[in-house]
Structure 1
Amino acid sequence: MNTQDTSLTIKSPGFWMVALGGLLMAVNAVRAFNDPSAFATYLGLPLAAPGDAALIHIYALRALFIALLVGGLLVTKQRRALALLSACAVVMPVGDALLTSAAGAPTGTVLRHTAIAIYLLVTAFALWPRGAKVDAA
């Protein structure tokens, strides 16, 4: 019988790591809605024309969705789902790093995207319950 506690609590580092990520996505959503042009530049892909702001609004909606999803999974203590979400989300900052690098973004911007990918991997590792009995579906 496995007695290891695999619940997600406010005391666990994984809780705070994923909560910070969700909060930052919510902040990004607000920033992207409020000033699409400045946010596009922050991402490392400045808008070619002011009319392209709708693309940043689309990004903002998706960032808001991710923030709400993370919040809902945190409230319901879905540890494995949050671990899987964090691991799968790595594709976004890796893609961002590649796209911004190809677009000639500053090195700091590319490194920021890379650091986010690493943070997501560490978060996924911190959240994944080790030694836990896997539930049969």
Structure 2
Amino acid sequence: MVARISIAVAALVRDGLVLLVHRHPARLRYPDCWDLVGGHVEPDELPHQAVRRECLEELGVQVHDPVPFPMAISDPNLHLHAFLVTRWDGEPVNAAPDEHDDFRWFRPSELETLKLAHPNSLPNIMSAVAAAS
């Protein structure tokens, strides 16, 4: 049996909007689609530590108090840890342009029209945004 890859992602929510990153079209996995910021959980990390590190590396922000929330995905090779983040230091920037070619704040009503990395996670993301608002 193949071990699943552990991934930690963050839904940064501010003023009823959620921040998504657009995965660069040259990416091997999930190219040219919108996703929550995040990445691999390193062997020496816990998921909440990984999401803090990923937000710092990819957005240049220091997150506080990430709160886990359930998120459905259809990729059986991934073990996903999703976190709601409503507090952070700094203003998000695209600090990883080789991974993302864009990032934007979206209203929940706009999410249904996007090509998402994990489309079946949409209800979970919408619930997280609603819980933060």
Range of TM-score over shorter length: under 0.3
Larger Rg: 1
TM-score for the superposition, normalised by structure 1 = 0.25
* Larger strand percent: 2
TM-score for the superposition, normalised by structure 2 = 0.25
* Larger helix percent: 1
